[in-house]
Amino acid sequence: MILILGAGIIGLFTGYNLLKKGKKVIIFDANNTKANSTNAAVGMLAPLIEAKPQEFELFNLMLESKRIWKNLHNDRNIKNSFEYKKNGSLMIAQNEDDQEKLLFKKEFFKKIGFNSTFLDAKQTLDKEPFLNSNITSSLFCDNQDQINPDLLKKFLIKEIHEMGGVIKVGKKIKKILLKKNKVFLNNVDYKFEKIIISCGAWSNEIIYNSFGLKVPLRPLKGISLLVKSSEKLPIHNLWFRNIYIAPRSRGILAIGATEEEKGFDSSIKIDELYFLTNSIWESFPKLESLILKKIRVGLRPAIVDGNPIIGPMKKISPNIICNFGHYRNGILLAPITAEIVSKYVFEENVSGKYKFFSPSRFNL
Ligand SMILES: Cc1cc2nc3c(=O)[nH]c(=O)nc-3n(C[C@H](O)[C@H](O)[C@H](O)COP(=O)(O)OP(=O)(O)OC[C@H]3O[C@@H](n4cnc5c(N)ncnc54)[C@H](O)[C@@H]3O)c2cc1C
């Protein structure tokens, strides 16, 4: 039996993948953790736009995951289950400073082997008539797509149940207590093959309570909005100076996001709301046609070096596998993460490029 702690996108995708490969799976989730990250995610699948010069290994991991997403998109049976949209992205400049940054980005993208297209104001408005005429220019990046994380979660839960997997939602698991070939979780014992920790921003808490080890993980709070528009929606994903927008079906726009270090605070503050609405006011036409549908808060699980932690905790047991710390890219990274974890579960050879993300880099 494989026990997975945490039913955010990472725990669910990993469970789904292992069930497909014939393993028995139980997933545990706490119904009293507020602000899980997945529920606030916008769902961008945009490795190029998320690339940073110092994050070479992470960029390659994102590209690999994107290739798996592409295969899922080509699978006729599931492609419509979570609204995968191959609509590409436009990064928008609203002044000369923004434009300088876009030109710098274009050079950077070229250096890492990707072409993007610079468009002047007229070309941008021809490509994306939704935009205000106050824009200066844009950079078009193909293959920077999106899915709907809410639908993805629903799809995974349904598939997990259909394949005989169990999802137990209840109290937070306080501690992992290993005794011979059994594990005790909240005083209930289970026989297990592997335990996978996918508790998002709470993963260090359970590791500390269980083994007294500290993991350099912190929550980074983010607010996103769902709004409904009665006007025409944009065609592309749009990336402005402060916000990004994913047009979904039925007139919905998902808009992200703030990012702040506020511990486990899950309340929504007026200044956070102001930041988003003011940025929308700067960037959007016809504000009066937008209806606010939902405000969502999520705690991104961020490791100190910006990379996720994926792999067995050799210091404690090869049967305890970490799978957390996906920070701002957990939706994009979920498929490749599930693949890597499955290699550890089946005790297959794991390539050096994946070992880079192992817990041993923090002596765990
Ligand atoms: C505003 C915002 C926008 C984002 N946009 C994007 C995007 O466009 N694209 C992208 O790729 N990523 C995006 N992200 C990042 C993405 O949401 C995260 O990387 C991802 O959701 C992390 O998933 P997770 O499963 O690790 O954590 P979570 O979704 O937080 O799930 C962790 C789960 O573990 C459970 N749990 C915790 N502790 C315990 C315990 N002790 N016992 C049992 N259960 C426990 C919790 O209840 C929770 O359900 C965004 C994040 C935010 C906040």
**186-240: pLDDT as tens digits:** 999 999 999 999 999 999 999 999 999 999 999 999 999 999 998 889 999 999 9
pTM confidence score: 0.97
Q: What is the CB neighbour count within 10 angstroms for residue 311?
A: 24
**Residue 19 token pair:** 């069930």
Tell me whether domains 2-41+149-215+305-362 and 70-147+219-303 share a fold.
no
Position in ligand 1 atom list of the atom nearest CA 201: 30
Q: How confident is the model at residue 314 (pLDDT cuts 50, 70, 90)?
A: very high
Which residue's CA is minimally distant from atom 2 of ligand 1?
41
Res 196: pLDDT: 98
Surface-to-core class of residue 148, CB atoms within 10 Å of its CB (0-12 exposed, 13-18 middle, 19+ buried): buried
Class of domain 70-147+219-303: alpha beta
Sequence ranges of the domains in the chain: 2-41+149-215+305-362, 70-147+219-303
CA angle 307, 52, 85 (to 5 degrees): 85
Predicted confidence band of residue 77 (pLDDT cuts 50, 70, 90): confident
pLDDT beyond 80 at 179: yes
Task: Please identify, by atom number, the ligand 1 atom nearest to the C-alpha of residue 298.
Answer: 53
Looking at the chain, the whole-number percentage of residues with pLDDT higher than 70 is 100
Q: Calculate how far, in angstroms, residue 218's C-alpha sits from the geometric centre of ligand 1.
A: 12
* C-alpha 28 – ligand 1 centre gap (Å): 14
Residue nearest to atom 5 of ligand 1 (CA): 41
At 300 the pLDDT is 98
Pick the CATH number of 2-41+149-215+305-362 from 3.30.1360.150, 3.40.1160.10, 2.102.10.10, 3.50.50.60: 3.50.50.60
Residue ranges around ligand 1 (CB below 6 Å)? 5-11, 28-30, 33, 36-38, 40-44, 172-173, 198-202, 206, 222, 224, 256-257, 298, 300-301, 324, 326-332
C-alpha torsion angle, residues 117, 119, 125, 131 (rounded to 10)? 80
In the prediction, which pLDDT does 232 show?
Answer: 86
Which is nearest to 302 in space by CA: 349, 345, 260? 260
Q: If you average pLDDT over every residue of the chain, what do you get? A: 96
Q: What is the DSSP string of 69-112?
A: HHHHHH-TTTTTTTT-B---EEEEE-SHHHHHHHHHHHHHHHHT
- Residue (of 210, 241, 201) closest to 330 by Cα position: 201
pLDDT of residue 307 exceeding 80: yes
The candidate with the shortest Cα–Cα distance to 194, out of 341, 53, 60, is: 341
The answer, yes or no, to whether residue 80 has pLDDT greater than 90, is: no
Nearest atom (ligand 1) to Cα of 10: 25
User: What is the rounded CA–CA span in Å between residue 88 and residue 237?
Assistant: 6
Question: Could you tell me the pLDDT band of residue 103, with boundaries at 50, 70 and 90?
Answer: very high
CA of 300 from ligand 1 middle (Å) equals 6
What pairing do the DSSP bridges indicate for beta strands 2-5 and 194-197? parallel
From ligand 1's centre to the CA of 127, what distance in Å? 34
The two structure tokens encoding residue 155: 């799809």
Distance 112 CA to ligand 1 centre (A): 28
Instruction: Based on DSSP, count helices (H) and strands (E) in the chain, helices before strands.
Output: 10, 19
